[in-house]
């Protein structure tokens, strides 16, 4: 099955955690967009490992090399390839993983899917590391979208059982998004930072890990973007979101609450504000019938705890077909939610780029 994403943009992600390099090719881009490399690099660093005591000790420069598609600082419109060479790889840490399938990981499913020929080192192509090129692509997409007035931000809405406030659809701004970026953990309600940090450190000490949720908002998006069958805004965002390892759920607007709300509660009444049609509330997360209504797009993703834990686990040896004990050594994060925030923003940007390029009438 062909590995590319998009009818308008053609995104290909490649690479394995411990191979020569990882990267992305982006096609279908508009030409003439000025690219700010510093901004791209700061996006890369939001995801990069080894930044603080909450993350894995693996350090990677994660500096994308532009192989093509940018000339004299502007997109050419022809395919843009960015390559990130792998450097700080401790392959020996993973030798046991050739046979011992880590629970919660793709070791077993990858083994079956590729008849044992997959690169098992560090999860290979299934590694969270492969989201680095996604972040690069998202950073480029964001810059393209910004020229159209579309801005994206996200915050940690939950870690373990600690919940942040939700976005207030009426009070979203580039300013708010910037404020989130400089916090130790990107949450709306500052008082949650210490509780969340504590939960992560506790998990680390126990050789365990924690999951959470990330809420993302897209502002400045015009009405009329998206499609009914089959490429709704929700379809495209969800398709990309579920490409990100560890994402196990996505909801739009009030999400799970829709189940218990009546129609009269859930419907967003239309009003006229200035000379513009808008909605009084934004329960639907800016999307009706798969198409934007001009209110901010709001969605939340559910992220499972990283399956790499140092606690001993029961599993199987796939080559010898027997049950074994497994203790995962090597470096890994007790929580990847904070590093995933920029990844979620990236897939949001790519989804909107895909959709925004598609309007033809």
Q: Does 274 bind its own copies (CB under 8 A)?
A: no
Phi then psi for 65, rounded to 5 degrees? Answer: -95, 125
Q: How far apart are CA 221 and CA 77, in angstroms?
A: 23
Nearer residue to its own copies within complex by CB, 49 or 123:
123
Q: Does 205 bind its own copies (CB under 8 A)?
A: no
Q: Which residues pair with 21 in a beta bridge?
A: 85
**Is residue 343 a contact partner of residue 134, using CB atoms and an 8 Å limit?**
yes
- CA-wise closest residue to 187 among 157, 151, 218: 157
**Is residue 303 a contact partner of residue 246, using CB atoms and an 8 Å limit?**
yes
* Interaction residues for its own copies, span 328-357 (CB under 8 A): 355, 357
124, 138, 186, 296: which one binds its own copies (CB under 8 A): 124
**Is residue 139 a contact partner of residue 48, using CB atoms and an 8 Å limit?**
no
Q: Given CA atoms 120, 126, 127, 130 in this order, what sign does their dihedral have?
A: positive
Q: Does 38 bind its own copies (CB under 8 A)?
A: no
Q: Does 92 bind its own copies (CB under 8 A)?
A: no
Dig out the tokens for 170 from the structure. Answer: 């009426």
Instruction: Using the CB atoms, write b or e for 320-347: b if 16+ within 10 Å.
Output: eeeeeebebebbbbbbbbbbbbbbbbbb
Q: How far apart are CA 307 and CA 39, in angstroms?
A: 31
Nearer residue to its own copies within complex by CB, 68 or 194:
68
Nearer residue to its own copies within complex by CB, 144 or 174:
144
Q: Does 83 bind its own copies (CB under 8 A)?
A: yes
Q: Which stretch binds its own copies (CB under 8 A): 35-43, 169-177, 179-187, 278-286?
A: 278-286
- The residue written with tokens 């701004």 in the block is 173
42, 78, 87, 95: which one binds its own copies (CB under 8 A): 78
User: Angle of helix 131-146 relative to helix 337-356, nearest 10 degrees?
Assistant: 50
Q: Does 247 bind its own copies (CB under 8 A)?
A: yes
308, 339, 340, 341: which one binds its own copies (CB under 8 A): 308
Nearer residue to its own copies within complex by CB, 52 or 117:
117
Nearer residue to its own copies within complex by CB, 141 or 287:
287
- How many residues bind to its own copies according to rule CB under 8 A? 156
* Interaction residues for its own copies, span 166-195 (CB under 8 A): none
Nearer residue to its own copies within complex by CB, 161 or 171:
161
36, 37, 67, 149: which one binds its own copies (CB under 8 A): 67
* Interaction residues for its own copies, span 141-170 (CB under 8 A): 158, 160-161
Nearer residue to its own copies within complex by CB, 216 or 241:
241
Q: Does 28 bind its own copies (CB under 8 A)?
A: yes
CB under 8 A, 24+ apart: contacts of 91-94: 91/18, 91/121, 91/122, 93/122, 93/329, 93/330, 93/331, 94/18, 94/120, 94/121, 94/122, 94/330
Q: How far apart are CA 155 and CA 140, in angstroms?
A: 20
Q: How far apart are CA 196 and CA 291, in angstroms?
A: 35
152, 318, 343, 348: which one binds its own copies (CB under 8 A): 318
176, 180, 181, 223: which one binds its own copies (CB under 8 A): 223
Q: Does 64 bind its own copies (CB under 8 A)?
A: no
Nearer residue to its own copies within complex by CB, 178 or 202:
202
55, 56, 75, 143: which one binds its own copies (CB under 8 A): 75
């Amino acid at each position: 099955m062909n590995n590319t994403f998009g009818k308008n943009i053609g995104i290909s992600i490649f690479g394995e955690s411990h191979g020569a390099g990882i990267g992305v090719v982006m096609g279908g881009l508009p030409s003439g967009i000025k690219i700010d490399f510093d901004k791209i690099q700061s996006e890369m660093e939001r995801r990069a490992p080894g930044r603080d005591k909450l993350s894995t000790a693996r350090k990677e420069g994660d500096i994308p090399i532009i192989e093509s598609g940018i000339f004299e600082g502007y997109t050419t419109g022809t395919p843009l390839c960015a390559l990130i060479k792998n450097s700080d790889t401790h392959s020996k840490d993973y030798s046991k993983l050739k046979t011992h399938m880590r629970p919660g990981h793709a070791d077993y499913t990858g083994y079956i899917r590729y008849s044992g020929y997959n690169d098992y080192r560090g999860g290979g192509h299934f590694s969270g590391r492969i989201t680095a090129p996604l972040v690069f692509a998202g950073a480029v997409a964001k810059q393209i979208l910004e020229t159209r007035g579309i801005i994206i931000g996200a915050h940690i809405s939950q870690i373990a059982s600690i919940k942040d406030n939700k976005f207030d659809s009426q009070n979203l701004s580039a300013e708010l998004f910037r404020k989130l970026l400089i916090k130790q953990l990107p949450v709306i309600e500052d008082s949650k930072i210490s509780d969340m940090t504590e939960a992560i450190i506790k998990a680390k000490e126990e050789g365990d890990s924690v999951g959470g949720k990330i809420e993302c908002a897209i502002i400045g998006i015009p009405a009329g973007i998206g499609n009914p069958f089959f490429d709704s805004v929700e379809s495209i965002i969800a398709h990309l979101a579920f490409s990100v390892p560890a994402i196990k759920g996505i909801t739009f607007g009030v999400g799970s609450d829709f189940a218990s709300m009546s129609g009269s509660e859930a419907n967003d009444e239309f009003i006229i504000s200035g000379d513009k049609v808008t909605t009084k509330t934004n329960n639907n997360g800016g999307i009706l019938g798969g198409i934007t209504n001009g209110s901010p797009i709001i969605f939340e993703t559910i992220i499972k705890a990283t399956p790499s834990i140092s606690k001993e686990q029961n599993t199987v040896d796939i080559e010898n077909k027997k049950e074994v004990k497994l203790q995962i050594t090597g470096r890994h994060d007790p929580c990847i939610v904070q590093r995933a925030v920029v990844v979620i923003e990236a897939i949001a940007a790519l989804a909107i780029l895909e959709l925004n390029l598609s309007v033809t009438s």
